[in-house]
Amino acid sequence: MEFRRKALENLRAPDDLDSPVRLARPRAWAVLALVAVLIAGGLVWSFNGDLARNVNVPGILTHPLGVSKVESPQSGLVSDVFAQTGNPVTKGAPVLSLVDAHGATQIVRAPFSGRTIALLVDNGQYVNAGATFMTVERTDDKNDRLVAVLFAPADKAGQLQIGDDVDMDVSSAPAQAFGLMRGHVTAVDAFPQTEQQVLDFLGGNQLLSTQLLDKGGPVRITVDLDTDSKVTSGYRWTSNSGPPFRINSWTQVTGYGRLPGERPIDWLLPK
């Protein structure tokens, strides 16, 4: 048969053992070299690289003592209101006059200094003893200054430590135009705040309190603002000058904590 004849001829033919064998084309070697370089570079980066980490936390700009309620020491009919919303008030200054049941006029004085946030009464209104008639952002501490008070959910609070840098997006100064306000953590409360504690610190602002309590009892974090006397706002920003106006207290912010970097390999290694 024909196929048997061809098989016999192949057996008689000498083996080409001295012929070179092409294992790979030059182009394939170039591709393999490139892959090897990429793998080596990836390994070096995974051990020596540094990935930035951030944690964002809501809060407000205020003073360390927050907002306090002012309660009427007695019952009576409001005959005059001396305080005005948004204006400063000094400890001992008259803020309200009441006419008691005997027709006598009694003057109610501010128990501490600060800025009037809200007036809850008006002329002709009857006020019961112990009723809140105004809220004041207190500034009567000897070390008083404007700070950012952040309310971090419990799962984020542990990521921020005293001394950590924090950049803040200020609602009255959009970050796209003016950059972020800079500061650093100076205090982290040991325990989460209760709903009533947050509400009291905010002077009874139920809407803001609800927003901050959206993910459970938050941990209060105090951030001191980095100052810069050369710019209009008086504080340091990520931009060169920040906004061309002063920043008021009781302004909402979002704090972005700049956490220590992390090696990519740490994502793969068990902790």
Q: List, for residues 234-254, the tens digit of each pLDDT value.
A: 999 999 889 999 898 888 899
Supply the pLDDT for residue 237. Answer: 94
255's enclosing H/E stretch is: strand 251-262
Would you say residue 218 has pLDDT above 70?
Answer: yes
What's the angle, vertex CA 48, arms to CA 45 and CA 54, rounded to 5?
90
Model pTM? 0.66
β partners of residue 57: 255
With residue 117 as reference, give the H or E element that holds it: strand 114-119
Count of Cβ atoms closer than 10 Å to residue 228 Cβ: 15
State whether residue 8 is helix, strand or coil: helix
Domain ranges within the chain, ordered by starting residue: 54-65+142-260, 67-138
Phi, psi torsion values for 268, nearest 5 degrees: -95, -30
Distance from C-alpha of 231 to C-alpha of 237, rounded to nearest angstrom? 9
| Coil, helix or strand at residue 52 | strand
| Number of neighbours of residue 254 by Cβ within 10 angstroms | 17
Longest CA–CA separation in the chain, Å: 137
- Backbone phi, psi, residue 154, to 5°: -55, -35
Q: With cut-offs at 50, 70 and 90, classify the pLDDT of residue 9.
A: low
- Options 2.40.30.170, 3.65.10.10, 1.10.3470.10, 3.30.360.10; which CATH number does 54-65+142-260 get? 2.40.30.170
CATH topology of domain 67-138: OB fold (Dihydrolipoamide Acetyltransferase, E2P) (2.40.50)
| Backbone dihedral region for residue 191 (phi beyond 0: left; psi -120 to 50: alpha; all else: beta) | beta
Amino acid at site 131: A
Residue 107 pLDDT grade (very low, low, confident, very high; cuts 50, 70, 90): very high
CA distance from start to end of the chain: 72
DSSP string, 181-199: EEEEEEEE-SSPPPHHHHH
107: phi then psi, degrees, rounded to nearest 5: -95, 125
For residue range 110-156, list pLDDT tens digits in order: 999 998 988 999 999 999 999 999 999 888 776 678 899 998 887 77
Q: What is the pLDDT of residue 171?
A: 92
- Average confidence score pLDDT of the chain: 80
